[in-house]
Structure 1
Amino acid sequence: MKTMQWAARAEHLGGIPRKMMFLAVGAFSKAVSNLFNNTTVHNADTLLRLVRSRPPGVPLLTISNHMSTLDDPVMWGFKGFPVTDAKLGRWVLAAEDICFKNMALSYFFRLGKCIPITRGGGIYQEHMNEALDRLSDGAWLHTFPEGKVCQEDAPIRRLKWGTASLISRAPVTPIVLPIVHHGFEKVMPEKYMFGRRPPFPLCNRDIRIVIGEPMEFNIPKLKKMAVDMSNDVSFSLASWPRTCGLDEAAQRCLYTNISNQIRTAMERLRKICKSCQEMKD
C-alpha cells in the first residue's frame, strides 16, 4: 500500500494533483538553480530536443552521477527547461527507504512520477517492471546507476546493473543520454552541521551540468557477444530468471558490457566538468 501505484497514474483525479506538484516542485527547482545559485549547463539543446521531440514511441533514458539528495529535481531547473510541465517530466527511480517511508511521502513522490526501488533488492525486483513499463510507453526515465549519493571528488563508481537490464529488456531500445554534474554537493552537503544535511539548500554555489551525446546500443549484437563471453568465464550464479533469451551467465556479461560503456562515457563527462570548473577557479 505504501508504494501507492494508483497515485502515479496520469488520470488520478484528472491529473490535477500531478500538475500542481510539478508546478510547485518546478518553481522550487528554478529558484534553487537560477535565483539562489549559479548554474551553467553544457549541451542543454541535446536534452531539450530529446525531451520535447524524439521519435514517437522511442523512450529516453537519462543517467547521471548522484551528488546529493537534491540532484533530482533541481538538476532540471536550469533556464529554458520545462521542469513545471508534468506531461514532459521524467520518471525517476527513487530509494524506497527514503522517499516512501510513510503514506504522505509515498503520495508526494508518486505524484512526482517517482518509482520506488529497494536498495539491495536486485535487478528483478517488482518495481523494476514498473520502470520497464514506462520505457515500453516511450516515456522518459532517469536513473542514478551508482546507487547512492557520493560527494567525493572521485571517478565514477562501478554502476549497478539495473540500468543496463532496463536498456536490454525494453521492447524499443531507449536513447541513452549520460549527464554529469558538479556543485550539488555544496548546495546540499551531507555533513554540514553536526554531521547532518542543512535544513534548506545553501546559496551562492556554482552548479555545473555537462550533458553528453546520445548513446545507441545494438542489443542483438551485444547479446551475441555476451553469449560468446559467458562460455569463457564463470560466475557465482543466483538463479536469475531466463531473460532476453539469455541464461544468467550471459545476462551478467551483457549487463557488465553495457554498464562499462556508460561508465566510460560518464567518466569522460566528469573530466570535462572538472576541467571547466578548474578553468573558472
Structure 2
Amino acid sequence: MASDELDMSKSNPNRLSLQQPSLPWRMSSSLAMGLTAALSRGFLYGLNSVEVVGLDRFLELLDKRKDVENRQRGLITVSNHISVLDDPVIWGVLPLRYAFNPSNHRWGLGAHDICFKNKLIGSYFYAGQVLPTHRSQHSPHGGLFQPTIPQAIRLLSSPPFPTPLSEASGGRHDDNDDVSDPFSAGELTFTTTGTDRYVAPSTYARNRHSWVHVFPEACVHQHPRMLLRYFKWGVSRLILESEPMPDVVPMFVDGTQRIMSEDRTFPRFLPRFPVKFRVAFGELLDAEKTFGDLRARWRDLVRRDGGRLAMGELTDELKYGKEAVDLRIEVARRVREEVLKVRRTLGYPDDDEPGFELAETWAREPSKDRFKSNVDDSLVNKRE
C-alpha cells in the first residue's frame, strides 16, 4: 500500500481511514475509463445515428453527485441488455468530462469468464470500475450471494458499515455501533474464488455512495419487439440492503442489438454500422414510494431473524427463507416495470407478455450458451 492510501482522517472519527487509492491507480482508472468512453463516443456519433432521451436531467443528477463529501445516497441505474457492447457503448452518450472522473462514474458487474479471464484483461476492466462477477452457468462461484454483491452494496452505501439492524440499538440504525466488520476493521481486499484477490473498492471513502449500473437480465437478450426477460434478484439485494436507500434511474437501450446481432456471420467479432442507436434515461424514481414498503418488510424480517451481521452478509434465513425470496421477487418485478415504462417512451407498445417477469417462465429454456429461446423466440447469449 502506498503511504497516501494509509492516511488517517483525524477530523472525522466516522470516516474510513483509507481515503482514496494511490495516485498511479487513480491515473490508470481515469485513463482506462476516459479512453474507452472516447472510443465509444467516437463510434456512436461518428458512424451511427444517435437519439438520447432524458440526458439533460441525468447529467443534472450526476452534477449534483460530483462533490463526493456531500453525497447523501448511492445511485443505481438499471437497463435492458441487448448486446455485449451495451457497456461501454451506452456511456458514450455522456460528455467526455464525465468519463475522466471515475469517482462520479458507474461501477459495473462484469462476467468473470469474459472480463477477468487473465491478469492483463482483468486489470483493464478493474481499472474501468468493473467488479468480477461469476455466473452460475459458467462457474461454481456464481449466484446471488457471491462476494461481489456485498461489495456493490457497500459501494452504494457509506463507511463505516453498520449492521443492517443493530441489536444494541433495539433494531435502529446507529452509525456509532461497534460492529464486527472485516472491511472497516482494516480488511482491504476480497476474494471471489478463495484463491484470487482484489482490492475492495468500498474500502475507500472516495467511493462512498457510488453509482452502480446493473443489467438484471444478466445475459444478452435480443427480441424483435424488445420485450424483456425476468430480472434476476441481484438488483433486489442492492435496493433492499444498501443504506440509505439508493436513488434509482431506469433506462432503456435500443440499437446495440443491430451493432452486434446474435445472428451475425463472419467476421463475427466486428461491430456493424451504421445503425440507429437510442437510449432513454427515465425519471429519478421516488424510491420511497416505489420500494419503501418492501424495505420496511425487509428490515422487519432482519429484526425478527435476530442476526448481527456486517453489511452485505446474510444468515441462511435471510438468504433462502420464503419471505426473503418473495421480497426479492417483488423488488425485481417493480424494477422491471419501471424499465418497461421507459421502453414506452421510445414508442414501443405496452405489450409485455404475462408471466415474463417470473423466473419459472424461463426455466424451460435449454442450458446452452447461445440459443433461440423456446419461450419468446428471442436470440439469447448467456456467454455475453
Q: Which bracket does the TM-score occupy, shorter chain normalised?
A: 0.7 to 0.9
* SS of alignment partner, residue 99 of structure 2: coil
Q: Measured at CA, do residues 15 and 189 of structure 1 come closer, stay the same or move farther in structure 2, by a change above 3 Å? A: same
1:209 pairs with 2:279: yes
Deviation (angstroms), 1:182: 0.4
Deviation (angstroms), 1:23: 2.1
1:152 pairs with 2:234: no
Q: Deviations over 1:225-263 (max 9, x none)?
A: 57999xxxxxxxxxx943897972221121111111111
* SS of alignment partner, residue 133 of structure 1: helix
Q: Distance in 2 between matches of 1:184 and 1:56?
A: 32
Q: Measured at CA, do residues 193 and 247 of structure 1 come closer, stay the same or move farther in structure 2, by a change above 3 Å? A: closer
Q: Distance in 1 between matches of 2:321 and 2:28?
A: 42
Instruction: Give 1:86's aligned residue.
Output: 102
Instruction: Give 1:172's aligned residue.
Output: 244
Deviation (angstroms), 1:185: 0.7
Q: Distance in 2 between matches of 1:90 and 1:227?
A: 27
Q: Distance in 2 between matches of 1:266 and 1:244?
A: 30
Q: Measured at CA, do residues 95 and 190 of structure 1 come closer, stay the same or move farther in structure 2, by a change above 3 Å? A: same
Contact 2:247 2:284 in 1 (8 A): yes
Return 5+ residue gaps in structure 2 as ranges: 1-19, 137-141, 158-207, 302-312, 350-384
Instruction: Give 1:71's aligned residue.
Output: 86
* SS of alignment partner, residue 230 of structure 2: coil
Q: Deviations over 1:20-77 (max 9, x none)?
A: 1122101101111211111111111222122221461310000011111111111011
Q: Distance in 1 between matches of 2:95 and 2:299?
A: 44
Aligned-residue sequence identity (percent) comes to 28
TM-score of the two chains, using structure 1 as the length reference? 0.82
Instruction: Give 1:26's aligned residue.
Output: 37
Q: Measured at CA, do residues 143 and 227 of structure 1 come closer, stay the same or move farther in structure 2, by a change above 3 Å? A: closer
Alpha-carbon RMSD across the aligned residues, in angstroms, is 2.7
Larger Cα Rg: Structure 1 or Structure 2?
2
Q: Measured at CA, do residues 227 and 58 of structure 1 come closer, stay the same or move farther in structure 2, by a change above 3 Å? A: closer
Q: Distance in 2 between matches of 1:63 and 1:95?
A: 17
Return 5+ residue gaps in structure 1 as ranges: 1-8, 230-239, 277-281
Runs of 4+ residues deviating >4 angstroms: 223-229, 243-247
Instruction: Give 1:17's aligned residue.
Output: 28
Aligned counterpart in structure 1 of residue 126 of structure 2, from 102, 105, 110: 110
Instruction: Give 2:198's aligned residue.
Output: none
Q: Measured at CA, do residues 51 and 197 of structure 1 come closer, stay the same or move farther in structure 2, by a change above 3 Å? A: farther
Q: Distance in 2 between matches of 1:71 and 1:253?
A: 30
Contact 1:43 1:210 in 2 (8 A): yes
The structure with the largest helix share of the pair is: 1
Deviation (angstroms), 1:94: 0.8
Deviation (angstroms), 1:13: 2.0
Q: Distance in 1 between matches of 2:294 and 2:273?
A: 45
Contact 2:30 2:99 in 1 (8 A): no
Q: Measured at CA, do residues 107 and 244 of structure 1 come closer, stay the same or move farther in structure 2, by a change above 3 Å? A: same
Instruction: Give 2:191's aligned residue.
Output: none
Deviation (angstroms), 1:79: 5.5
- Report the AA paired with residue 90 of structure 2: M
TM-score of the two chains, using structure 2 as the length reference? 0.61
Contact 1:156 1:266 in 2 (8 A): no
Contact 1:192 1:198 in 2 (8 A): no
Q: Distance in 1 between matches of 2:254 and 2:285?
A: 22
- Report the AA paired with residue 156 of structure 1: L
Q: Distance in 1 between matches of 2:134 and 2:319?
A: 25
* SS of alignment partner, residue 252 of structure 1: helix
Instruction: Give 2:151's aligned residue.
Output: 130
Q: Distance in 1 between matches of 2:81 and 2:241?
A: 24
Contact 2:218 2:232 in 1 (8 A): yes
- Report the AA paired with residue 63 of structure 1: V
Q: Deviations over 1:89-109 (max 9, x none)?
A: 210011111111111110010
- Report the AA paired with residue 30 of structure 2: K
Q: Deviations over 1:187-209 (max 9, x none)?
A: 12223114x7332x222210011
- The more displaced of 82-91 and 184-193 is 82-91
Q: Distance in 2 between matches of 1:79 and 1:125?
A: 31
* SS of alignment partner, residue 197 of structure 1: coil
- Report the AA paired with residue 217 of structure 1: A
Instruction: Give 1:53's aligned residue.
Output: 64
